[in-house]
Structure 1
Amino acid sequence: MAGNQPPLDIVELLPDLLREVSPRPSELTIFELSVPPEAQKRVVHRPELKAVIEAALRLRSEHGVPFWDAMMLNSLSQPEDIRSVLLDASGLHQPMSTAVVQHRLSIADLSPLALRSLLAKAQEGNISVVSSRLLMPDGTESHLPLLDFRLPVSASSSVIIEDIVRRLGFSGLVLESGNSYHFYGRSLLSASEMREFLGRAILYAPIVDYRWIAHQLVEGACALRISKGKAFAYSPRIVLEIR
């Protein structure tokens, strides 16, 4: 990286990546989403629930157990009414159909400037995500391979992520997302190939975020944040290119 210039972010890189993997004219979708409350804030605050949440937070802090893993483990010893509330909260899925705005964009005309202009119009507090689903001229759909990781940001973490991506058989871009990493593959997948890709990737949980994968499988498409927001001051930035 020359001088003190910051690394390129996904907004700068995405247009060229999409044109590289999709030489035929095609469309992508950007979703603007309202950010739901943190997981623990979605649970009704009764004294019994507060104790379960605090115990889960301690497990996460002391042993690195993911929050909802800790919550589910603690739910096993709870009365039925408490367990029911926890199960409902854990199973919450925010479908893309509830997006504040959906933008269908031509990949051929996409540029970093146009993308930044679009993101700047989002309501304060919302985030913008890109969908893996690309609409082709013949009406078929293809998917860009996307992954979300749970590893903390460090030099050793990027080495581990590269190892996993290579074992999955992909090349592409690894970006630092603010508290972990995102991956964008340099290829296109069919819907069935995408499901296989996610199924193979989940075998590397908890390094790969398995709850993220669950939501993508429910949705039938993947999505990753490309804007700042949700406590992140910048868009995801490139740290590694895997060839």
Structure 2
Amino acid sequence: MSELLSYEGVTSVFLESTLRQPSLRGGDISDEAQWLTRAARGEYTDRGFGFWDFLLSSAVDASAPTRIALWKRAIKHEDQTDDLEEVDTVGFIRQLSNAAFYDLDSRRIVSLTSQVRVDGKDTELHLPMLDFALAASSHNDAVAVEMLDELGLSGNLYRSGRSYHYFGATPVPTTVMTSTLARAQLLGPLVDHRWISHQLINNRCALRISTDTTRHTQAHVLVATTLDAVN
């Protein structure tokens, strides 16, 4: 990842530290919501994506109170602005080398955001990012690379555990980042379209770089680097 940050003279990055919220189980809403949520989680386990898609589709036929309560959960958005920390690139790379973001508490998540400062640039710039919904496999390694190629994106593709994270190589203006996210959203459910919606609301992206002791135990593994990113 360090090679991306030096590619275009990035002088500092912004890290986001958050606590992962408990997974939706539905029991606090109604027995009906709990049953629907359990079925949606089974669907997600089988397919590797689509938990909310399946849940909201199923909830159409649920009782109005359950249906509306699930809609409220679906559109809830947490603003993480207060959790941002600016770190100079040299210090961030040192933290990566020292495994500072590995084996955190079970619910603690540290993410690299798209916001960067670039030497000699006064405008707000972002590194393009994408969160895939493809299950990680040798076949899907190639599929994810093909998708990035079709979107015209250069940078690094990593296995993030069960799926993939993409970190772009070239900082772009906010408008370009927004356009990139919107175009990638058309490839849902192969990309995480709900993740994209939250990034568009924030006007920036954030992808996990940490590991923890329970859910995200595997460090990111580089799958591919585009030629543009290493020239």
Short-chain TM bin: 0.7 to 0.9
Measured after TM superposition, the shift of residue 154 of structure 1 is 0.9
Indicate the residue corresponding to 2:101 in structure 1: 119
User: Quick one: distance in 1 between partners of 2:153 and 2:14?
Assistant: 23
Indicate the residue corresponding to 1:6 in structure 2: none
Residue 186 to residue 42, structure 1, CA distance change in 2 (3 Å): farther
Residue 124 to residue 152, structure 1, CA distance change in 2 (3 Å): closer
Alignment of 1:192-231 (within 5 A): 192-229=175-212, 231=215
Indicate conservation of the 8 Å contact 1:148/1:209, yes or no: yes
Structure 1 segments of 4 or more deviating over 4 A? 61-65, 120-124
**Unpaired stretches in structure 2, ≥5 consecutive residues:** none
Indicate the residue corresponding to 2:20 in structure 1: 35
1:170-194 Cα offsets, whole Å, 9 max, x none, are 2211100010001112211100000
Specify the SS of the correspondent of 1:77: coil
Indicate conservation of the 8 Å contact 2:102/2:211, yes or no: no
Query: 184-193 or 62-71, which moves further after superposition?
Result: 62-71
Identity over aligned pairs, percent: 25
**Letter of the aligned partner of 1:178 in structure 2?**
G
Aligned residues: 224
Measured after TM superposition, the shift of residue 65 of structure 1 is 5.9
User: Quick one: distance in 1 between partners of 2:168 and 2:137?
Assistant: 21
User: Quick one: distance in 2 between partners of 1:223 and 1:121?
Assistant: 19
Alignment of 1:63-212 (within 5 A): 66-99=50-83, 102-107=84-89, 109-110=90-91, 112-115=93-96, 116=98, 118-119=100-101, 125-136=107-118, 138-212=121-195
User: Quick one: distance in 2 between partners of 1:119 and 1:55?
Assistant: 34
TM-score, normalization by structure 1: 0.83
Alignment of 1:4-19 (within 5 A): 14-19=1-6
**Unpaired stretches in structure 1, ≥5 consecutive residues:** 1-13
User: Quick one: distance in 1 between partners of 2:225 and 2:79?
Assistant: 31
Residue 62 to residue 132, structure 1, CA distance change in 2 (3 Å): closer
